[in-house]
Each structure stands twice: as C-alpha cells, then as structure tokens.
Chain A
Amino acid sequence: MAGPMKSQKPGAKPKNLVKTFSRILGYIAENKPLLIVVILGITISAGAQVAGTSMLKRVIDQYLEPMLKSYSSELMAGFLKTILLMAGIYLLGALSSYMYSRLMLMISTKSLYRIRTDLFRKMESLPIKYFDTHTHGELMSRYTNDTDAIREMLSNSVANVISSAITVTGVFTMMVIYSWQLTIVVICMLFISLNAIKFIGGRSSRYFMKQQQNIGKVNGYIEEMMEGQKVVKVFCHEEVAKDEFNQLNEALCEASTNANTYANVLMPIMGNLSHIQYAVTAIVGSILTINGILTLGTVISFLQFTRNFTQPITQISQQFNAVLTALAGAERIFELIDENPEEDHGYVTLVNAKENSDGSLTEVEDRTGIWAWKHPHKDGTTTYTRVRGAVEFDDVVFGYEDNKTILRNISLYAKPGQKIAFVGSTGAGKTTITNLINRFYDVPDGRIRYDGININKIKKPDLRRSMAMVLQDTHLFTGTIMDNIRYGKMDATEEEVLAAAKLANADSFIKHLPKGYETQITGDGANLSQGQRQLLAIARAAVADPPVLILDEATSSIDTRTEALIEKGMDSLMQGRTVFVIAHRLSTVRNSNAIMVLENGEIIERGDHNELIAQKGKYYQLYTGMFELS
C-alpha cells in the first residue's frame, strides 16, 4: 500500500529523530545479508524503471523517427530487439520488486517481533515502582498504537522511501546526461515544490500535534467513563457525560479536520506543481529543439523523466507524517526499553540440600524438601544456611518517594513458624511492610534479614521463590483452573494441585464447574466471583509450598462461613511456616503469635491478642469498635 492511501495517524513530534531512526534501522539491519539483497532488489526495480523510460528515447530517436522518413528492415529488427530488451528489463524489474517486498515483509515482521519481545521482556523486569507511576492505558498503548505506527512505517514507508530515493537519484543522473539545460529548469521548479512541502509539512505537523493532544483527552475521558459506566447509570449522570464528551469531541474534530486538510492538500499541490513543471519544461524544451540544441527524442524522454522525478518526491512527502508518527511511537517504546530494570545485586541463592549426619548441609540437584541458602563469601568459601523463615526488621524507615516517609522505625522479629499479624487502618503501612519483605521495594542494606542473611544479598527470584503471597485483588491468567493453581509451582503434579485445591476449599466449587479443573479462565477470571478467585489464589500459594507465607487481605471477599470452612485448611497451610497476615477482620488475626498495630507507619502496639486486649489500647478500641480510625 503506497503513498496517497496512507492512513494518517496522529503523531506527536519526536524529540530525537536521528537517534530513534538509527535504532529502528538497527532492528532492520539485524539480518544484514537479507537487507543487502532487499536494497539490491529495490535498486534493480527502480533502475529498471529508469532504464525502461530511457529506452523510450532510443526507440523514438533511433528507430521510429528514421523509419518515419524511410523504412528499413534493419531498423525494424533493431526496433524489435530494443522492445524485447525493454520487456526483459521490465520483467526483471517486476520480479525484483516482488522479491524485495517479500523479503522486506519478512524483515519488517521480524523486526516488529523483536521490538515487541524486547518491550515485553523489559516490562517484565521493571520494578513495581514503575507500574505504580504509569497507568495501564499508557503502557498498553506502546503495544497497540506505537507498534502499529512502526508497523505501518516498516511495511510501507521504508521500502518506499528507499526506492523513491534511488529513483530520484537515478532519474536525476539521466536528466543531467540528457540535458543540463532542462535539468536547471526542473531544479528551479523543484525548489518551489520543496518550499511548498516545507510550508505545508510544518503546518501539518503542528496541527497533528494539536490533534494528538485532543485525542489524548478524548481517549482519557472515554477510558474513565467506560470504567465507571455503572456508576454513571446509578447516578443518572448520562446527560452530563454526553455533554462533556461532546465538548471534547468537537475540539478533537476541529483539530483533526485542520490536520487532515493539510495532509490531504499536499498531494494535489505536489501533483499539479509537477504538471506546471512539465509545461514549463516543454516550453523551454521546444525552444531548445527548434534552435537545434536538443533532439525531439531527448525532449520527449526528458518530459517522461520529469514525471518520474516528481512522483517519488511527492510520495516521500506523503510518508512524512507516517514516518513522524512512527518515530514518535518508537521513541516511547525505546524509552521503556531503556528504563532501568529491577536492580538485583544479590548473590545468595536458594538450593536444594540434604542434611549430613553431622548436621551440616550439602547441595544436591533433586528436590529434597530441604532448602538452603547458598552463600558464597569473599574469601572463596561457601556456606549453606537452612531456610527456616526467620524474618527480622531492624529499625526500617521507608517511603515510596524520598520526601514522604511511609514507615518509621519498624523493628520486629518473626521466628520460624510464627504467625505475625498487622492491623491498623488503611494507609497505615501494612501492605508496605510485606512489600519490603519480598523486595518489591528496596530498603538500605542490613535493615531486613532473612534467616540471618541481609535480604539485599539474596537474589530476588530466589528470595521470592521462598515465599508465597496471596493478595486482596486476585489476578488469574488465561488458561485452565489447573494452570492457574499450578502457577505456584510449575512442575506440580495433578495430585498436588488437587490437594492444594482441597486445602483451600476450592475443590468443591471447581468440581461444580462444567469442565472442572479444565475450565478455561478468561478475562482475569471474570466468570468467577471474587471469593472464588481468592480461594484459587490460596490454592496457588499452597501448591508453592514455601517457608514464608504472606496473606494480604487474602480472605476479605470470602464470607465468614466459608472462611470458617477453610480455616482448618488455612491452619494446616500455615503449619510450620512463618506467616504474615494483614486483615481487617480481627477474627482472622486473633490466633496470631504476635499482632502489630500500625498507625501512620509506626508500630504503636504489639503483643498477642490477650495481651493487647488487656492493654486496653488501640487494639482493644478497634476490637470493640469504640474508636474511630481514619
């Protein structure tokens, strides 16, 4: 799909054109031999076009004109030969044109694939903080709009621009060879055309930017309203929403009409300027012919050349906006690819171990059920520490942003197998504490220790593998229920999955589903209730079988009767593990070894249930519902 049909996508102006462009080239040039073949193909195809046109002159000058005066069979034979040669050249041109488009398709789709996977790989390795500061829509649009724009550019513009450039160079050379006088005329006209492009192009990209801003506003509004559509209904807010949308829509319409007007006008202006150029060239050419400076054939061929010359320039100018849009998109994509990944300087790893008779540990390949921290030291020795699940906080201070402290002076020690609960109002910092344990966010060295090891020394994947999290908002993935439970441990057997599901009391509802464990989950499990999803999340954690368990409001959507039913399961799940529990329901935390009452990022009370009740402090007030927290 070439030039005039290009869909005009909006584009914000990219900041560093050259750098971004050369990076895209980097992706394209990954397969160099193939790319060279493509450029060769484009050259042949463009060359064939130029050669074919120049043969027109030969046919007219050398054969037709003389034959018009006197027929000779010799000339006729030469004529036929030239025609056949022309046919051959053209055929070669068409074939190489097919070949290079086919190869270019391979290159461009491959590049696109690489860009996408690079983007995704980087996204997966970004720290949680990045996701806190960027909306889903923003990140999603890199995969949709931005890659679409690059795709458009790769599959249309690149080959087009290269071929246009080659054609222009080739034709220009031929023009100079044929008649430098007429070439000067063409150059003068070209100068005018280029100024027209510059003028219109400048206007156009200014309006395109304005259009882009308006699109952003409209899309933002749409996203928000669609998300809150049910609330709109409940508040009978439809008319207001329509009015607000109308205003934004009108503004967008105005901006995009202007932007597209300029884009649409470019083509006729360029096309007709080339006609005018043709006329001027013809006039000058005829003067030169009559004066005997040029031959008739030269002028005719030259006139054909001028058409071949302006067409690609018009085409390149048409690609202008598409290329600009693509580069802006590419810039956003590269911005993400250039983000710093989650830092991990850890070197302590999690290994399977077996216990020797003297109590020391040896690393082994197979799963033994005994896990150990493999700790290489600077002096070359390696020690193995058994994974027990002891977690120690030593005066931890933390804030998501540098100037806003969320946690103050948190110190605590969880012995292996203990159940530690955090209570307190929303925003007190409960979830933040658990996010520090698995290093979603980092704290300074030595503040948090896990089995006596500074957690900053432990490799993040190994650290996280040693603990399982069940979150309030359960996220399920496309796949079967079996797959989703297995998410906790990829090599879990079917029996293990079933046992985990039974433990979480999820087995009974799963069995009631038409396809049981093979039921497909789609759209983040929209077909399951919130409570059912939490049960699955618990099963997922159970199958992972880690020494440390973090339950962040894990049962908040499960009704208390069901909760009572799974309590036994939960108890056996917690058996022998260090468990951190966050819950609003105080019934859930009562039997903890220690309860920490948090307020404004500080632990204000600690102790077990009975101690805290006896203290008659905040916990007592919370428990008896006498005190307001906010």
Chain B
Amino acid sequence: MIKKLVPCVGEYKKHAILTPIVMIGEVIMEISIPFVMAQIIDKGIQGDGGISYTVKMGLLMVLMALVSLMFGALGGRLAAVAGMGFAKNVRKTLFDKIQEFSFSNIDKFSTASLVTRLTTDVTNTQNAFMMLIRMAARAPIMLIGATAMAISINTKLAMIFLIAIPVLGCALFFIIKNAHPRFEAMLAKYDKMNANVQENLIGIRVVKAFVREEQEKKKFELGADEVRRAQVFAEKLVILNMPLMQLCMYGCIVAVLWFGGNMVVDGTFAIGQLSSFISYVTQILMSLMMLSMIFIMTIISRASVTRIVEVLDEEIDITEPESTLSVEDGSIEFKDVSFSYSKDPEKTALDHINLSIKSGETIGIIGGTGSSKTSLVQLIPRLYDVLSGELKVGGHNVKDYDLTTLRNSVAMVLQKNVLFSGTIRENLLWGDENATEEEIVAACKAACAHDFIMSFPDGYETDLGQGGVNVSGGQKQRLCIARALLKKPKIVILDDSTSAVDTATDSNIRRAFRENLKGTTTIIIAQRITSVSDADRIIVMDDGKIDAFGTHEELMRTNQIYQEVYESQQKGDK
C-alpha cells in the first residue's frame, strides 16, 4: 500500500536518501561524544592527563558537537525539503487523479471526503514521512552504535541489555499491535461526530424551524462522548510507553551501577567508563523509544495513507481513444441503449432506448421524478458510459471521439450547477477562454442574463464570491446557461436549468435560443409543459423507458402521461 506513494518522492529522492545518510553522521557524533566525555573524566579530571588533556578533549568535544550540529541542521533542512516536496507531489498526484475521474468515480466519493483526503490526510502522511526519513535511520543506528560502544566498554555489563531490550521490545510490540485497531475505531467515531456537525450546519434552518436544538445537542453530546471514550481507550495503551521505558531505563541504570560499581571496586572498571556506560544506556533506550514512536505515528497515519491510496487506486471507467475525429453535426442516435449506475444489468436506469434526433432539432423531455430524464441526457456528452447498445453523436459512436472534442461540442447545463470564485466574466470564459466581448454579450443576451449583469455596479466584472454566493438562484442558472453557450456547441442540453427562473424569463430564453441557435440541437428537460410545448418533438419518459415521442399536438391526442401532466398544470386556469 505504501508502495503506491513511493513515486511521489519524485525529484526529492536525492533529499530523501541524503537525509538518513546525514543523520548517520549526526548519530556517529552523538554516539562518540559520551566516549570523549568518559575520556575527560577518566584521563583528564581523574587520571594523570591534567588540565591540558581535559582542555584538549573538551575542544575535541566542542568540535564534534559543531560537526554534529552541522549534520543535524543539514538533515533538518533536507528532511523539510523532502517532506514538503513529497506532500506537494502527493497532493498534485491526487488532484490530477481526481481531475481524471469520470462522473461515476466522482459519485463514489463524496465531496467532503475528497476534500479531507486532499487536506488532512495529506498532512498526516507528510508528517509521518518527514519523521520517517529523519528518525528511521537514526534510531536503529543509534541503537546499534550505542550497543556496540557499550559492549566495547564492558562486554559483561552489556549483557544487561540482552534482558532489557527484549523485554521492552515485547512490551512495545504488544502496545502497537493492540493500539492500531483502537485508533481506527477512534477515527471512525470521530468521522461520525463530524458528519453530525456537518449535517447541523447544512440543516440549521430545519433544526431551528422545528425547535430541535436541544435534541441535536443531546445527539452531539452522545457522539462527542463516544469519541472521548474511544480516545481514552486507544491512548491509554500509548501512554504505557513512557513509564515502561522509564522502568527499563531506571532498571538498567540501577543494575549497571550495582554490577559496574562492583567491578570498579574490583578494579576492573574505571569510574569514567561507568558514567559513560550509563549515557549509552540512556541512548539505547531512547532510540528504542523513538522506534516505538515511529510505529505509533505510522499507525495513526496508516488510516490516512489508505484513504489516499483508495483514490489513487480508483479505476477510471471512461477511457478516451487517440482520435482526431471532430463532431460533424448535432445528430444523436440511441441504438438499443441500456444504462445502469451500478453497472448491473438487473438495476437499469435506462432500458433499451431507441431514439433518433436530427441535427438542429429542439427536443423537450418530460417525465416524473426518477423517470431517468437526466440519465438519458448524461450519456450524450459521455459523462457516463452505456451499459449496452450504442450511442452515436454526429454519426459516430461517442466512444470514438476524444473526450475534449466531444464535450466541447455537447454543452450540458447541469441540474446542480456551480459557479466559481472570480468575476462574472472569468466564469463565462470557462466556456471559451478566447471569447470576444461581443460573443460574451451575445451569449448572455441569449440566456437573458445581460440585463441583470449590467444592473450590477461592476457589470461583467462583478465578483461572484466562492460558489457564486452573490447572485440569486435564478441568476446563477442563467449565468450557467450563458457559460455553456459560449462553447458554441453543436448540441445544447438544459437539464432542468431554468427551474429557478420565472416563467416569463424562461420563455424569453427559449425564444432567444430559437432565434440565435439555429442549427444547434437543443434538448430541454423541464417540469413545466410550457417549457417544452413549442419544441419540435417531445420525449415522454417513464420509469427508464421512452413512453412516447412526438409533437405537442400528437402527444396531447395520444399520450396519457402527457395529458395528465398537462392537466395537472392547467387545472383551475380557466
């Protein structure tokens, strides 16, 4: 799983490899220093070396410390470059991958979860990575080095480690093994609590309107308490770490002092050696501690890594061919097309659709909630792939086009549409970044947006704010239509795109379409009969099937559903 992220080290490989190497330099110095310290005590202060020896060794120690400092600082810098560079690459890889996602890939992950993966999860991974390259080499080398030094000072005394290290190792292993599932459980509870908060943020008006604040508070308290319990449950293992290490370290020191002291008394061990041996005891156990912390960090970040890799491993289900084919005209043909969101032939949203639309026709689509109107049109710009059958646009199978070519020719205004922060003009330029002023104004006029845009003090330069918060729902829809028109597409699809626009404006938009978009195939999904009644032909959808296809007059004569819809909207009119 971790392997998946290795390529993200990329151009920082040099730094990532150099970091532990430089760290080795620091560790060597760090291990040697207690040795020099022992020399100072034994030969300088205590022995016959005198002050000159002490000064000499002292200066040597200062020099070593400076070298160690240099290595340490260099290592710190390298680790920062490698760690942050790695994070940058992970973020970029993730973002790029999500850009490749098809609609069904996007459906699978929620927006919130994608955002968390790109932010919090990347941060966790980055911290773990930086620590890993700084400490992973350091800790074992320090462990080995310090042990070797201790052995070289006094082999017999070093036997104490043979007991201490396995004991501590076993204890740490036990902690880590048990902590992992507990941390996962904690994170799950945490997610649940945050979901609860999010729900309240989105639905705050409902909560307040139904006076459910107290109930929501209780619910949240329950969730927060669960998190608290889970955190205690998980961390109570981790906090064992410190006292355990202390116990081992103190045990070792006491044992070293006793046995070593006896050796000193026997005259086989110098006092300075004894104190530097104790320094090594500290170093050895510290490095073990570091190792255990690396493991714990890895456990915590493992959940994040899994979530990142999940996105990277997601299979893109729409692939595009190398193709120079361009869309000739706006004709559309469905040949026995079936479609399912879950790719399950048992659960189809569209069932054996046959349909032929001529280039330049205006087609209305009417149907009840859940009758798969949106599913039908989403297949045309290949936002989803058909399950079976064939869909042709401009005489060729949609799968034969380059996706960019196809989607630039098929402009779709989504039901749930989004504007981006920036000015109105910047948003419109999404449709065509080279559009001239005249083209922009023409598109906005066709979408009945020009007048309200000009009513703003800043006109086309009005800043929309994040998510287009500065315009009303109906205005937003019209901007989205204008944006789509700027593509100068062969086919325009409006998926209930005027639901927040009043009837009068709606009919004006359609009139503008008729006048300005001759030759462009227009497909309009609508709830209102009046929105589709003047279309060339109207599709009546029912339960994933085409119930009827014809002109308003024909359908009024022959189709029961259409008549009912018509009736439901006319009642009480007279």
Contacts and interface: CB of A to CB of B under 8 A. Distances in A.
B569 A628 contact: no
Range for the number of chain B residues in contact with chain A: 35 or more
Given A106-B232, A250-B88, 15 more contacts: A113-B224, A113-B225, A117-B224, A123-B200, A224-B466, A234-B411, A264-B80, A282-B54, A290-B50, A465-B211, A478-B199, A556-B499, A559-B565, A560-B569, A562-B368
B250 A228 contact: no
B465 to A, nearest CB: 10
The 6 closest A-B pairs by CB, nearest first: A268-B72, A264-B76, A475-B203, A531-B369, A90-B250, A564-B568
Given A106-B232, A124-B216, A559-B527, A290 B51 contact: yes
Given A140-B197, A224-B421, A464 B208 contact: yes
A80 B73 CA distance: 44
B103 interface: yes
B379 interface: no
A117 B225 CA distance: 9
B144 interface: no
- Which of B37, B66, B80: most chain A Cβ within 10 A? B80
Nearest to B114: A226
B336 to A, nearest CB: 26
Contacts of B247: 90-91, 94
B485 to A, nearest CB: 12
A557 B51 contact: no
Nearest to B422: A224
A471 B231 contact: no
B554 to A, nearest CB: 19
Contacts of A121: 217
Interface string A105-133: 11001101100110011011100100100
Contacts of A224: 420-421, 466-467
Interface stretch (A235-243, A365-373, A495-503): A235-243
B92 interface: yes
B383 interface: yes
A151 B164 CA distance: 33
Contact of A120 (B26, B81, B224): B224
A562 B478 CA distance: 27
A563 B272 CA distance: 93
A242 B502 contact: no
Contact of A275 (B61, B92, B123): B61
Given A87-B254, A426-B474, A236 B404 contact: yes
B130 interface: yes
A55 to B, nearest CB: 9
A391 B415 CA distance: 36
B228 to A, nearest CB: 4
B243 A97 contact: yes
B447 to A, nearest CB: 11
A563 B213 contact: no
B61 A278 contact: yes
20 contacts: A68-B271, A90-B246, A222-B95, A222-B119, A226-B115, A229-B114, A231-B418, A257-B84, A258-B80, A264-B75, A271-B30, A271-B68, A272-B66, A290-B50, A290-B51, A475-B205, A523-B110, A557-B499, A561-B368, A630-B455
A253 B84 contact: yes
B432 to A, nearest CB: 10
Interface in A220-262: 220, 222-238, 240-242, 245-246, 249-250, 252-253, 256-261
B76 A261 contact: yes
A269 B88 contact: no
B205 A469 contact: yes
B61 A228 contact: no
A131 B21 CA distance: 52
Interface in A505-564: 523-524, 526, 529-532, 540, 544, 556-564
A426 to B, nearest CB: 4
Interface string A1-38: 11011011100000000000000000000000000000
Contacts of B505: 425, 628-630
B182 to A, nearest CB: 13
Nearest to A116: B224
Interface in A59-89: 59-60, 63-65, 67-68, 71, 76, 79-80, 83, 86-87
Contact of A125 (B84, B213, B569): B213
Contacts of A227: 111, 418, 467
A300 B40 CA distance: 10
B204 A128 contact: yes
B205 A471 contact: yes
Interface string A131-155: 1000110011001110000010001
Contact of B127 (A7, A63, A124, A232): A7
B517 interface: no
Nearest to A235: B430
A275 B367 CA distance: 80
Interface in B505-549: 505-508, 527-530
A267 B76 contact: yes
A280 interface: yes
Interface residues of A, number: 174
A461 interface: yes
Chain A contact residues, majority secondary structure: helix
B504 A59 contact: no
Given A60-B271, A101-B239, A226-B115, A231 B224 contact: no
A264 B212 CA distance: 49
Contacts of B130: 260, 264
Interface in B94-133: 95-96, 98-103, 106, 110-111, 114-115, 118-120, 123-124, 127, 130-131
B41 interface: yes
B240 A626 contact: no
Interface string B485-500: 0010000000000011
B572 interface: yes
A533 to B, nearest CB: 10
Interface in B121-159: 123-124, 127, 130-131, 134-135
B466 A135 contact: yes
A312 interface: no
Contacts of A604: none
Contacts of A585: 527-528, 569
A512 B165 CA distance: 63
Interface string B44-74: 1110001100110011011011101101110
B451 interface: yes
Given A226-B115, A272-B66, A440-B208, A630 B127 contact: no
B98 A229 contact: yes
Nearest to A66: B265
Interface stretch (A325-333, A375-383, A450-458, A586-594): A586-594
A207 to B, nearest CB: 10
Contacts of A267: 72, 76
A124 B368 contact: no
Contacts of A544: 210
A256 B199 contact: no
Contact of A245 (B95, B101, B123, B253): B95
A68 B265 contact: yes
B417 interface: yes
Contact of A155 (B99, B207, B235): B235
Contacts of B264: 64, 67-68
Interface stretch (B289-297, B323-331, B435-443): B289-297
A154 to B, nearest CB: 11
Contacts of B205: 128, 440, 469, 471, 475
Interface string B467-487: 100001111000000010001
Nearest to B509: A628
A360 B11 CA distance: 85
B507 A231 contact: no
